[in-house]
Every structure is written in structure tokens, then in C-alpha cells.
Amino acid sequence: MLQLRPNCECCDKDLPPDSTEAMICSFECTFCRGCAIGVLQGMCPNCGGELVRRPVRPQGKLARNPASSERVLKPGGCRHVA
Ligand SMILES: [Zn+2]
Ligand SMILES: [Zn+2]
């Protein structure tokens, strides 16, 4: 099951479970759309994997399968790869 992390690892933007702005890699490194498309250019800075839009978990399922509340943030944020 997806963890549904609550924030962007780059800029710490909130990404609630119903956000359509959340992008993840296969390891669930989680980023906002702006960072994923902008600075990261569609590639996860941690594992080099592809970033795709995180599916939204239906509200009714969140009670039994709650989203992660553990914030993950990259030290120093994400930098432009020249
Ligand atoms: Zn971000
Ligand atoms: Zn990754």
C-alpha cells in the first residue's frame, strides 16, 4: 500500500492524500508537481527513477487506511542539476 507521504521532499509543500499535485517514484519518494516537473525534470533525485502522479485515495478508504503523517524532507532541498 502507498504511504501517501504528507509533503514534498524538496520544498516541504503540503500534499494531502487527495492532492492531484503529488508525484512519486517507485520507492514513494514524494514531490510536488512543481518540483517534479521543474527542478527534477521528471526524475527522482534519490533513486534516479521516474516520477509519476500519485493516485488519489478515495476519502472513504482513508479511515481504515490512513495516509502517512511522517514528513520526509531532503536536507538542503533539491538543487538544479546543471
Ligand atoms: Zn516541491
Ligand atoms: Zn526515488
pLDDT tens digits for range 37-67: 999 999 999 999 999 999 999 999 999 999 9
Residue 81: band (very low, low, confident or very high) from pLDDT cuts 50, 70, 90: low
CA 52 to chain centre: 9
Distance 65 CA to ligand 1 centre (A): 25
Q: What percentage of the chain reaches a pLDDT higher than 70?
A: 96
Ligand nearest to the CA of 42: 2
Averaged pLDDT score across all residues of the chain: 94
Rounded to 5 degrees, φ, ψ at 14 are -70, 135
Distance 60 CA to ligand 1 centre (A): 27
Residue 60: predicted pLDDT = 94
pTM over 0.75: yes
Question: How far apart are alpha carbons 57 and 51 in whole angstroms?
Answer: 18
